[in-house]
Structure formats: C-alpha cells, structure tokens
Structure 1
Amino acid sequence: MNRAQIWLSLPPDDIEGLPEGPDYRYWNGGDEYPGDPADCVFYVVPYMKPPGIALRPMPAMRALEVVQTLSAGVDHVEPGLRHLRPGVRLCNARGVHEASTAELTLALILASLRGIPDFVRAQDRGEWLGGFRPALADRTVLIVGYGSIGAAIEDRLTPFEPARVVRVARSGRTTERGPVHPLTELPALLPRADVVILSTPLNDSSRGLVDETFLAGMRDGALLVNIARGGVVDTKALLAELESGRITAALDVTDPEPLPPEHPLWRAPGVLISPHVGGPTSAFLPRARRLLVDQVTRYVNREPLANVILTT
C-alpha cells in the first residue's frame, strides 16, 4: 500500500522531528516533480517563487487535503484553489515572519525619518550632510492591518516612545493594549497620523485600499510604509503624491513587482524601496521548520491544524 505523499519545499532531511509514516518528497519549484501530484495529500508551497510555479501542480492534486504556505499572505495561491476538491484546508505561516517583518518595518521607518538614504548618497560624494531630521519619538503611528504582524510591529515601536499607536483592522475589537478600530473609522484616523503602516493581507477588501482618497486624507509630511502587498496601494495615485512632495513613502512591496528598472517609482522624490525582503532572514528557517513539524504532526494525528485561513 502506498504511503501518503507530503510535498515539502524544504529538504525533509533538514527538518528534525517530522513524524514517521508519510512519504516525504522535496519539491521547491523545479521542472521535475518528485512524484505524481495526484498522490500528494499535503502540499507545502515553494517559498519566494513566482506564483505560476506554486500553482502549476495544483490542478492535478486530486487527493490533496492541505495547502500550507510558508508566507503570511496566501493571495499567490488562491487562484489555484478552484482546481481543488471541496474540503481542502489552506494554512498560512502565522508565527514565522512576525519578527523579521517587524524588524524591517522599524528599519524602513527610522531610515526614512532620519534621512539614512541621503547620508549614504552624501558619503559616496564625501559630503558631511548635517541638519535636523524628524524623530520617531512623539509621533503618532497608525497600523492598518492589526494581526500578528501588526502586533509584532507595535512590540518594537514601543521603546521608541511614539506619542500614540493607533490600530486598525477589518473589524474592531479590544486588546490588552487598547482598542482596534474598524476599517470604517480609517478616514477619521488618517489625518492624525505621522506614520501610516500597511500590514494588511491582500484580498478583495484591501486591494487598492490606498487610493487617491486615502492618500489625500494623510496629513502633510506623513510617511507611508507598505510591508503588506503592492496591490494594497494604487501606484499611480502614490506617485502623484510623492511627486508633489506632500508625503513620503517606504516600500518593501510594489505594484508591479519586481519593479521594472524604468519605472518612475524608482526615481520619485521621498521614497525608499526595499525589494520585498521582509521575510527572508536568518529567522525564517528555524521558524519555518517548527511550523512544518507542528502542522504535519497535527495532520498525521488527525488533530486540528493551526493557521487555517479557509476551506475549499
């Protein structure tokens, strides 16, 4: 009798603690599959690969029961769900990327406010570039998308003594730190914020959320930080605001992505761009391995899976 195939995008020999029983196969997006996709019951999506690669085997995965991403977002695999039978569980990587993404968020904020890109360019010219710069201290910070990553960002904001952290999510609730405002209150909250951080998933309700109206609601001199997905922001509308000099931006994600060399966003004033590096750090692998061991163990023991986003 054939054992159930579990396709891992990390080498199984490098993951200590995987339960015995399943037939583990390694596939990280190569041209050749490690087996027949029809025999795969648990599919760990290749990490940091183009969406087309992740989707390629899904139409043939007729026995599939679980799709596990190693990313916090699942928008890149959602188009493939229509090919799957009913009852397949889609799980994300909650718990894997919070530390790294929150670190980068703080780095982008501090670099933008304190003018680090200007200092680097001045160093290349041998120029001593002094002057006053904004601080993060005493600023009001608005986090749009207050899930586990949003909370991790607030953890790291606190020592920098912001005047206030305002939390926004799709629906309002109360936390130990204070209220989380519903998305409907965003227009009233935007004009109060010096720094606006986007950490929301990309879905139908968030796609294009940051449009002309959103940006017009930001106060003069505010900083927009996007560590969510590029599609959350209307790039044309953002370019218009940047070129006017009214706001600045720090972007780890863009639309389109990768950003073509000739794209005007590269040369827009007041923008700092990093190439979608919120997740891939030394913190990724140990957390990803722990997640996979936990999820596969739950699956083998027929226990409830963690991080279930939806069921087909």
Structure 2
Amino acid sequence: MPSPQLPRAVFALDPVHLPLLFPPPLMARLRQAAELDPALVVRDFTDPAAAAALAEAEVLITGWGCPHLDAGVLTATPRLRTVLHAAGSVRSLVGDALWERGITVSSAVTGNALPVAEYTLAMILLAGKDTFTHRERFRSTHAYPSPVETAHTGNVGRQVGIIGASRVGRRVLELLRPFDFTVLLHDPYVSAAEAAGLGAQLLSLDDLLSRSDIVSLHAPDIPETYRMLDGERLALIRDGGVLINTSRGALVDPDALADELVSGRLHAVLDVTEPEPLPAGSPLYRLPNVFLTPHIAGSLGNELERLGRIVVEELERLGAGAPLAHEVRHADMARVA
C-alpha cells in the first residue's frame, strides 16, 4: 500500500523562536509528520517569495510574531484547514474569517500554563515566608530577624485565593495540594462541587479578597474582567496582603494598585502590568514591597520545546486521522484568554 501523503505545512512566526521550539530531534520528528521547508518562516503573508508555499499549505504552524490571520491571509492560503499555534492564547491571532471558513485551531496553551503555574507556586511560597520583606531588611540591617519580626511569617494555614479556574489556575490549584494552605477560589463558571474537587472553597470575589492572605490572578483578559480589581476591591484585601498577577495587567486598576503599594498597605508580585513595561519613572520599580519581573512566567528558553512538542503531537494526530487534543473552539473564545 502507498504511504499516506503528509500534510503540507508552513511556519508563520518570528524565526528567532524556531530553534528553541523545534530543536533538531523534534524538527526531525516534525518533518516525519508534515511536508515543509524548515528554512521558510513567514512573517509577511503578502511576500511573493512565500506565495507558492502558502497556496499549497494545509497547516500553518504559528507562534509569537505571527500576524493576525485575517481574510487576506485566508485568500493567500486557499487549502488551509488547520492552524497549530506553538504558543498560548490565540485571541489576537484568529478572527471571524477563520472561524467562518471552518478552519480547525489548536493551541499549546496547556504547555504554556505549566511554567506560569510553577512561577506562581514559587511566589506564593516565598510570599508566605515574607521573603521579600526580610530580604530588604537584611540588606539594610545585616542582622537576622527577631522572633517578633517573624511572628506572622510562615505558610501553615495561609489563606490563598485563586481568581480564575483557567488552565493556569487549575494547575496552580493542583500544585498547592501538598501544602498546608486553605485554598479559596472565585470563578463564575465553576460550581461549589467542582471547586471542592479542585481542592478549594468557592467564594464570591469580594469574600475571597477579604479572606485571603495571598491573592493570585488567573482570569482571562476579556471585557467582563477589565479592571475587576478596582480601588474598592483592592481595599478589601487585608493589610499586608499580597497580590500576585501573572495574567494580564488590564485586570487591575493600575492607579488604584499604585496607591495601595506606595502606601505600603499591600505587597505585590507583578509579572504583568499596565502599561507593559511600566514607564521608567514608575515608583513600582523602587518599592521594597513590590517584586517586578519582565513577563517571564510563561515559557522561556528550554521551556519552548514543550510547546513545539505539543504541535508535533497534534500533527501526528492529524496524520492518523485522530481528533486534536488541544483544539480551541469558537464558542470558547468569549471566556478564555
């Protein structure tokens, strides 16, 4: 019997990411699952040099740096039937024209959720030990803290509030299970029974904020969550509470948050901000109660290979006639990141 014809695929992303997404062994496996030119990486769908390959492409392998897939792109790719995204959210990538044509979309968002959850767990544990405060104090005093100064330090019985049972949020909930935390959850799409199954107590947003020592944001950036933590809600967090944001800066009122942090009432671990990055004059760079990182919680370095591996596995499923394991459906777009 003749071997089945491999689907024709084209890379569409910033080529700087390609070697980390698909190191040589994984690239070899990819080329066994699809017919593609590894030297052709499209950034401009109007580039004449890419026209012939795009006209034959059945699969686009996209990633960071891929332009929005609008009607013009679909005109250039008349045979396109599948988009495999080697990154997280596809919200800025796909639009109505793609859904209307019935193109299947898959995302490596599950793979990208893991390092975000790991970062979050690390920050929760460090925040519970009051690590950042003790570090700043040790820098200036060179002295070990007294029992009085550590009386409220520790992770036993900490109330940790998770906002959003997203893929990241669920992974964080899973990682928190071995620890002596009381875990609270707010998500309007989750029932109390489901929350209990995730190891958390379901609460309203206001109740979660008022009861939590540490609040971690994992909700999607959609109109319903815009500025969900405004000044009134930030004020509900108890004095000395910690806000961790690895989601999107738009979920928090930046002026209200800055006021709380400048006053010293709250602490924050911020991997995302609004705007991003913050202007050079922002006080948040200098505050001892703020730990800022430059959007590093998601996949970086060797973690990108995990995203590439998800894409290769999806291609192998396509070749075997099996359903995609990480399909993104149009109906989900209203409530996912």
The two structures, once aligned, show a CA RMSD in angstroms of 3.3
Instruction: Spell out, residue by residue over 1:207-261, the C-alpha distance to the aligned partner (whole angstroms, 9 max, x if none).
Output: 3222223212322222111111222222112112212322211111111112332
Q: Give me the whole-angstrom Cα distance separating, in 2, the residues matched to 1:177 and 1:121.
A: 36
8 Å Cα contact 2:264-2:289 kept in structure 1: yes
Give yes or no for the alignment of 1:190 onto 2:206: no
Report the residue type matching 1:255 in the other structure. Answer: E
Give yes or no for the alignment of 1:139 onto 2:158: yes
User: Which of the pair has more CA radius of gyration?
Assistant: 2
Give yes or no for the alignment of 1:227 onto 2:246: yes
8 Å Cα contact 1:145-1:169 kept in structure 2: yes
Mean Cα deviation higher: 201-210 or 106-115: 106-115
Give yes or no for the alignment of 1:74 onto 2:90: yes
Q: Give me the whole-angstrom Cα distance separating, in 2, the residues matched to 1:195 and 1:116.
A: 13
Q: Give me the whole-angstrom Cα distance separating, in 1, the residues matched to 2:257 and 2:40.
A: 38
Structure 1 residue 13: Cα displacement: 4.2
SS at match of 1:160: coil
Is there any run of 5+ residues in structure 2 with no aligned partner, and where? 13-17, 332-337
8 Å Cα contact 2:85-2:311 kept in structure 1: no
SS at match of 1:167: strand
Instruction: Spell out, residue by residue over 1:101-154, the C-alpha distance to the aligned partner (whole angstroms, 9 max, x if none).
Output: 222112222333434334545565572252315222211111111133222212
CA 1:269–1:179: 2 relative to 1, 3 Å: closer
SS at match of 1:253: coil
Q: Give me the whole-angstrom Cα distance separating, in 2, the residues matched to 1:170 and 1:22.
A: 44
Mean Cα deviation higher: 139-148 or 18-27: 18-27
Is there any run of 5+ residues in structure 1 with no aligned partner, and where? 48-52
SS at match of 1:90: strand
Q: Give me the whole-angstrom Cα distance separating, in 1, the residues matched to 2:136 and 2:265.
A: 22
Which residue number corresponds to residue 272 of structure 2? Answer: 253
CA 1:112–1:76: 2 relative to 1, 3 Å: farther
Report the residue type matching 2:307 in the other structure. Answer: A
8 Å Cα contact 1:5-1:25 kept in structure 2: no
Using structure 2 for the length normalisation, give the TM-score.
0.76
CA 1:151–1:28: 2 relative to 1, 3 Å: farther
Instruction: Spell out, residue by residue over 1:58-106, the C-alpha distance to the aligned partner (whole angstroms, 9 max, x if none).
Output: 54243333333333333442xx524535222333224313432222112
Q: Give me the whole-angstrom Cα distance separating, in 2, the residues matched to 1:12 and 1:26.
A: 14
Using structure 1 for the length normalisation, give the TM-score.
0.81
Q: 1:209 aligns with which of 225, 228, 248?
A: 228
Q: 1:4 aligns with which of 8, 16, 23?
A: 8
Give yes or no for the alignment of 1:60 onto 2:78: no
Q: Give me the whole-angstrom Cα distance separating, in 1, the residues matched to 2:178 and 2:238.
A: 24
Mean Cα deviation higher: 226-235 or 13-22: 13-22
Q: Give me the whole-angstrom Cα distance separating, in 2, the residues matched to 1:189 and 1:2.
A: 51
Give yes or no for the alignment of 1:199 onto 2:213: no
Mean Cα deviation higher: 251-260 or 114-123: 114-123
8 Å Cα contact 1:40-1:61 kept in structure 2: no
Instruction: Spell out, residue by residue over 1:182-210, the C-alpha distance to the aligned partner (whole angstroms, 9 max, x if none).
Output: 7xx22233211111111122222223222
Structure 1 residue 281: Cα displacement: 4.6
Instruction: Spell out, residue by residue over 1:257-301, the C-alpha distance to the aligned partner (whole angstroms, 9 max, x if none).
Output: 123322233234521111111123566244223311221122334
8 Å Cα contact 1:44-1:70 kept in structure 2: yes
Mean Cα deviation higher: 173-182 or 236-245: 173-182
Q: Give me the whole-angstrom Cα distance separating, in 1, the residues matched to 2:247 and 2:253.
A: 13
8 Å Cα contact 1:99-1:152 kept in structure 2: yes
CA 1:100–1:3: 2 relative to 1, 3 Å: closer
SS at match of 1:128: coil
Give yes or no for the alignment of 1:172 onto 2:190: yes
Structure whose residues are more often helix by fraction: 2
CA 1:5–1:212: 2 relative to 1, 3 Å: same
CA 1:213–1:11: 2 relative to 1, 3 Å: same
Report the residue type matching 2:242 in the other structure. Answer: L
SS at match of 1:304: coil
Q: Give me the whole-angstrom Cα distance separating, in 2, the residues matched to 1:97 and 1:180.
A: 26
